[in-house]
Structures are given as structure tokens and as C-alpha cells.
Amino acid sequence: MIRLVVGLGNPGKDYERTRHNAGFWLVERFASSSGITLRKDPKFKALVGKHADGAWLLLPQSFMNLSGQPVQMLAGFFKIKPEEVLVVHDELDFEPGVARLKQGGGIAGHNGLKDISQRLASHDYWRLRLGVGRPPAGTQGGDYVLHKPSVEEKAAIDQAIDRSLQVLPEMLKGDMQGATHKLHSSEPKPVEKKAAVEKKEPPKKEIPVKEPEKQPEPKKTGLLGSLFGKK
């Protein structure tokens, strides 16, 4: 059973539309669709709300690399175990449109996950990973996630959030296996890129080369003619 849903992101207008705030986007939409008001709680340094099923929703208002403190404080106050926590975050290893659920595992350099793992002294919490794609060559991941996705990428991320929200009630009830199967099986298949067909040029017609015409030998006249003429 999931008793705490944490969305990761950075607070403030400057960051609200950036890739790093994908976790915020999902929890905000879940709260809105569930009629939950997320209120700022100074005690937990976060926006906090409670779902009808009893699960807490949390958006840390510290910056990403300090996300663990609000999670630790709320989880400790309500005696929530790491395996009862779901953290929603952006994932560089997946393309936009991909959403994957798993428990534990590595943090792949994600500063929010790093702080949560240290604060909870555990990697056993659940993670809902929303793909944002890998940065282009020459761009650092930390810089890439602090920029807005393109219109096409945002649409794909929104679709992944839609599919995730459909199975989130099952997660809250504890059916993690069923939720995982439904989420992963509903993922759209990647479009196969057709190999470019090489256009063959029609064979060039060979132009016949004309041999130079033999010029007639000049007639021998005068003295030479008399010496070398016909006998």
C-alpha cells in the first residue's frame, strides 16, 4: 500500500515548466482530479494534501537537491515506511512518453533521489519514472532538465502522465504488480524509423566515340613527284 506520493521538482515560476518538474506535474494533476487542495505546510517545508484513501500527497518546496528533508519529516511524523512511499520523478534514460514503475534501484545521478535515499537510509521506496529524453551531444544533463521540453515532447510526457494516473488508484490500494503490468503494457510502441531507400540513377547511355577520319595523303608534285611518283 502506498501512503505517501511525492512529486519531485523545483519551486517557483522559473522552474514550473521545466523537465525537472515532471513529478510535480503528475501530483498536481492527481490532486486536481481528486478534488484535493495542496496547502503549504511550513512544518514539512512542502505543499501537502490528503487523498480520500488516506494517502498523503507531497510537493517539497525546498530545491531538488534537498527534497529528502520534507519526505523524511512527513514519513517520520506519520510512521510511513520506505516501501509505502512512491516518488514521481523525471528520467533521462527514457524517451518522452515512457512511464515505468519500479521499487528500489540506482539513482542515476538524480539529486532528488540521492537526498531522499540518504534521508530515509533506504532505496526501498517505489519510483514512478517519467521519461524526458536524453540531452543532445554537448549538453549536460543538469542543464537539459532545467529547460522546457518542446511542444511535441510535452505532449508525449502528458500522455505518459495520463496513463500513470489511470493506475495510481491501484498503487494506493497496494496492487503494485497489477498497476505495473497495466502501465507497462499500455505503453505505445515506438515508431520504427524506415530506412532511407537509396535511389538508383538510371544507367547513363554511352556516347559512341567516332574515330577520326583518315585524311588523304597529299599529292606529290614537282621534283618529289618525279622522284617518288608511280612507276
| Domain ranges for the chain | 4-185
The pTM for the full model equals 0.81
Check: CB of residue 5 under 8 Å from CB of residue 57.
yes
pLDDT values of the chain reduced to their tens digit, one per residue, 231 residues: 999 999 999 999 999 999 999 999 999 999 999 999 999 999 999 999 999 989 999 999 999 999 999 999 999 999 999 999 999 999 999 999 999 999 998 887 899 999 999 999 999 999 999 999 999 988 898 899 999 999 999 999 999 999 999 999 999 999 999 999 999 998 876 544 444 444 455 555 555 555 556 555 555 555 445 544 554
Q: What is the pLDDT of residue 212?
A: 55
Check: CB of residue 116 under 8 Å from CB of residue 165.
no
Q: What is the pLDDT of residue 224?
A: 47
Catalytic residues: 20
Q: What is the pLDDT of residue 138?
A: 87
- Fold of domain 4-185: Rossmann fold (3.40.50)
